[in-house]
Amino acid sequence: MRRTRILTAVPALAAGLLTGALLAGAPPAPAAEPVEREVSIAADTYTWKNARIDGGGFVPGIVFNRKEKNLAYARTDIGGAYRWQQSTKTWTPLLDHVGWDDWGHTGVVSLASDPVDPDKVYAAVGTYTNDWDPGKGAVLRSANRGASWQKTDLPFKLGGNMPGRGMGERLAVDPNRNSVLYLGAPSGKGLWRSTDSGVTWSQVANFPNPGNYAQDPSDTSGYASDNQGIVWVTFDESTGTSGSATKTIYVGVADKENAVYRSTDAGATWQRLAGQPTGHLAHKGVLDTAKGHLYLAYSDKGGPYDGGKGRLWRYATATGTWTDISPVAEADTYYGFSGLTVDRQKPGTVMATAYSSWWPDTQIFRSTDSGATWTKAWDYTSYPNRENRYTMDVSSSPWLTWGANPSPPEQTPKLGWMTEALEIDPFDSNRMMYGTGATVYGTENLTNWDTGAKFTIKPMVQGLEETAVLDLASPPSGAPLLSALGDIGGFRHTDLTKVPPMMYTSPNFTSTTSLDFAESNPGTVVRVGNLDSGPHIAFSTDNGANWFAGTDPSGVSGGGTVAAAADGSRFVWSPQGTGVHHTTGFGSSWKASTGIPEGAIVESDRVDPKTFYGFKSGKFYVSTDGGATFTASPAANLPSGDSVRFKALPGGKGDIWLAGGASDGAYGLWHSTDGGATFTRLSNVEEADTIGFGKAAPGASYQTLYTSAKIGGVRGIFRSTDKGATWTRVNDDAHQWGWTGAAITGDPRVYGRVYVATNGRGVIYGDTSDTGGGGGGGGGTEPTPTPTPTPTPTPTGACAVTYKVTNQWSGGFQAEVRLANTGSSAWNGWSLSWTFPDGQTVSQMWNAEHSSSGGTVTARNVGWNASVAAGSSVGFGFTGNSSGANGKPTAFKLGDQTCAVN
């Protein structure tokens, strides 16, 4: 049950689901010139949600604020950060604003919640320290609990998805002087300090040891060979007073012989802590100031997967005495320790995890006497039978059983794996949360442990969505959404608002790399994926509800891409490890296809069941005999690399759309109407990485196009209802989700609904407020993409405003505004003003510019949403500051005229 995270945020291409074909007999022709299309971008207001899975990835850090009750944060390795919402017991995502160019900033290596000012929170972000991530790391800072952020770029990289990411926390705020922060860097970059609340940073020049431990120094990719560096910082708050820097600071270093350092003069000088144990890495250092004990969790490896030996130690800060408090003899460990926490309400209570105990289960240890004696979350009665101190209730996320039926001593669901995050609520001894490789578990009756009664463990993960999405399908009937996911295979969603009961099983791929359905027979579905042993392909005849395994051709080592014939009568598969193959029926035997290179991306025509296509290294291929033989298309000037996704229009034979490329060559969106014999590049699309189709707009005859692209100089998710002649950006700057280049599809049954694949934020879906299909295809005057920084519009005609508060927290809120043109003439620029009734102020606005004068706020259009046709509307959003009441404005003015308020 070892689950690993996707290691590259721009992974090798995952197959699309709907494909195109080259018509038989199409005459050779050179590539067509780009179609001249107007570069015009409208805007639409979408509501964005996750298709619920709840969890799905590794949560290496959970941080409780120690000043304010119920304020907690979680960090993920590739999927951003979250804040706990106590009223709903859900998590709120905080880094959805991270855009395409900064995709690496969705990896969070550390979080710090300010212990003096709970409104402040910091995140150290960056996904890889090697060249997989071209960007540098950064420290994000927020004064409103993560509703909006400011960023300071760092001169080095950070590794939210690197080895050692479960150690920490590497980022810490001085509990006495909260303008002082420390950050432990990887890659030999040392210890860094800020004295202005994270605005600027400088290296602590006199810190003596930047670390030296690497998981595998011989790894030429730079992933496992990177020095894991400085791994945690802990302040002894008892050695300072409010307003003065804390004097004693402990720092953990990835060095088995020199793992812990201390300063007793607020960081002026540093010394190796005398008498410390050697031979292990200190994953965590947690201080119980009431008892004067620094607890340390050690492992012989950096984690989060590896670790074969470990110890727990206690250091007495007053005397310098070291005590081995390990709950078992080292000879009996086959794991390292990492998760570590103390009960702030009950000094002397400490807990730790055996994070790398994969089999039969993880282990959690608890002591109420400062580590003198321990009890376990489970223990053997007579092997292989075991007795648990807990009960597990996964009814809210039933897939956590993995559909397994293991033999003792394994159980399902498992207590966890990769359990490096473990925290007792500092205000509530009964509440504990811990992260695993798939979810956040927690309990609210933890102290039952000490009385002999059982405590209950449940998922505490709703709202935290951390899956890497590799492919998506929305069939015309049956389930509205089928997904292919890294690590947990994928799901069939019959209701987007509910967690599916189980991921795909029979077989259960560790990662599903591609899936497809038969266009005219959507009950027939095929998926392919990765598995340590066993078949790499599976079929369903009931729309993905139940599955059975196929047979692999010789040499298959991974899923690759797969395509189903339009009627489900045959399949073409391009697996890893061998060449393209084809079969009739359900894959009981396969034959090699000819004329197409190994590793090609394969897709099917959505009308002709014998037509399939492929793409490899700038060449488009077609088969008209069911995948037996392929012929290269004469089309030229297509992207030369393999970062391409293409699909054929359902119901339109030979109507193919191809997206992809790279910045150093051909990059964009191409369209073929002759089965791939020729392709024409759309001149109004600068870059495109995905293409998908959805239900046509009202009054339109052609299906709606969706793409993750750069259009008019703007990166985003776009929609067109007129074959790409004009485009509407449907996301906004607050909803970008980093890298969205793996897959996209519209819903064939719901106009405007689009499903977006993210690399760590799960399946995002959006619904439009534009029921008429206007903008990006249909009517109205389109704006130019040129920004207009300070427009002075004088629109005429009636207007209406809808103002909605979408989120609130102590001292702040988030709101959305929709401005409708209810008159008879189009606006060419707009300016909307209002006055807050309770002294609120705007801190950040998106999809509009803003200015303030006294208590009056004025929002003005940006360049691409200046024009608003009669009967249309425009939306924008903002975060604001408030104190006490947060009443809604009651009057809005468009220029000099008053708008109706809905």
Percent of the chain whose predicted confidence (pLDDT) is above 90: 84
- Specify whether the CB–CB gap between 107 and 98 falls below 8 A: no
- Specify whether the CB–CB gap between 159 and 230 falls below 8 A: no
- Asked whether the predicted pLDDT for residue 470 surpasses 50, the reply is yes
Instruction: Give the Cα separation of 628 and 574 in Å (integer).
Output: 13
- Asked whether the predicted pLDDT for residue 257 surpasses 50, the reply is yes
Helix (H) or strand (E) holding 888, with range, is none
CB pairs under 8 A, 24+ apart, for 542-545? 543/475, 543/477, 543/478, 543/479, 543/492, 543/517, 544/478, 544/479, 544/482, 544/492, 544/504, 544/517, 545/479, 545/492
Instruction: Give the Cα separation of 505 and 547 in Å (integer).
Output: 7
Handedness of CA 796, 802, 807, 808 (dihedral sign): positive
Instruction: Give the Cα separation of 594 and 724 in Å (integer).
Output: 34
Residue by residue, DSSP assigns 216-272 as -TT-TTSSTTS---EEEEEE-GGG--TTS--S-EEEEES-SSS-EEEESSTTSS-EE
CA atoms within 13 A on the CB side of 455: 21
- Specify whether the CB–CB gap between 305 and 278 falls below 8 A: no
- CA terminus-to-terminus distance, the chain: 52
Report CA 398 to chain centroid distance, whole Å.
21
- 106: β partners: none
- Asked whether the predicted pLDDT for residue 36 surpasses 70, the reply is no
Residues taking part in catalysis = 77, 487
- Specify whether the CB–CB gap between 889 and 804 falls below 8 A: no
The predicted-structure confidence for 113-146, as pLDDT tens digits, reads as follows 999 999 999 999 999 999 999 999 999 999 999 9
Q: Which has the closest alpha carbon to 61: 355, 446, 370, 429?
A: 355
Instruction: Give the Cα separation of 123 and 112 in Å (integer).
Output: 7
- Specify whether the CB–CB gap between 432 and 390 falls below 8 A: no
- Asked whether the predicted pLDDT for residue 522 surpasses 60, the reply is yes
**Which residue has tokens 């995948």?**
627
- Specify whether the CB–CB gap between 823 and 799 falls below 8 A: yes
Residue 126 or 785, more confident: 126
Report residue 403's pLDDT band, with 50, 70 and 90 as the boundaries: very high
Q: Which has the closest alpha carbon to 40: 663, 745, 718?
A: 718
Instruction: Give the Cα separation of 203 and 155 in Å (integer).
Output: 10
Amino acid at 154: L
**Which residue has tokens 């304010």?**
68
The predicted-structure confidence for 184-240, as pLDDT tens digits, reads as follows 999 999 999 999 999 999 999 999 999 999 999 999 999 999 999 999 999 999 999
Handedness of CA 274, 277, 281, 284 (dihedral sign): negative
The predicted-structure confidence for 727-775, as pLDDT tens digits, reads as follows 999 999 999 999 999 999 999 999 999 999 999 999 999 999 875 543 3
Instruction: Give the Cα separation of 554 and 531 in Å (integer).
Output: 15
- Asked whether the predicted pLDDT for residue 12 surpasses 70, the reply is no
The predicted-structure confidence for 836-863, as pLDDT tens digits, reads as follows 999 999 987 877 888 988 889 999 987 6
Instruction: Give the Cα separation of 4 and 461 in Å (integer).
Output: 19
- Specify whether the CB–CB gap between 566 and 592 falls below 8 A: no
185, 349, 413, 440, 480 from 462: Cα distances, Å: 31, 29, 18, 9, 21
Q: Which has the closest alpha carbon to 776: 817, 834, 718?
A: 718
**Three-point CA angle 36, 37, 43, nearest 5°:** 160
- Specify whether the CB–CB gap between 282 and 259 falls below 8 A: yes
Please enumerate in sequence order all residues whose Cβ is within 8 A of that of 578, keeping only pairs 6 or more positions apart, or say none: 553, 554, 555, 556, 557, 598
Q: Mean pLDDT over residues 329-338, rounded?
A: 97
Instruction: Give the Cα separation of 46 and 594 in Å (integer).
Output: 45
What's the confidence (pLDDT) of residue 23? Answer: 27
752 burial (CB, 10 Å; 0-12 / 13-18 / 19+) is buried
Instruction: Give the Cα separation of 765 and 522 in Å (integer).
Output: 21
Coil vs helix vs strand at 237: helix
- Specify whether the CB–CB gap between 301 and 356 falls below 8 A: yes
Lowest mean pLDDT segment, chosen from 273-277, 770-774, 872-876: 770-774
- Asked whether the predicted pLDDT for residue 173 surpasses 70, the reply is yes
The string over 525-561, giving b where at least 16 C-beta atoms fall within 10 Å of a residue's C-beta and e elsewhere, is bbbbbbbeeebbbbbbbebbeebebbebbeebebbbb
The predicted-structure confidence for 548-596, as pLDDT tens digits, reads as follows 999 999 999 999 999 999 999 999 999 999 999 999 999 889 999 999 9
**Which residue has tokens 């798939």?**
438
- Specify whether the CB–CB gap between 365 and 376 falls below 8 A: yes
597 burial (CB, 10 Å; 0-12 / 13-18 / 19+) is middle
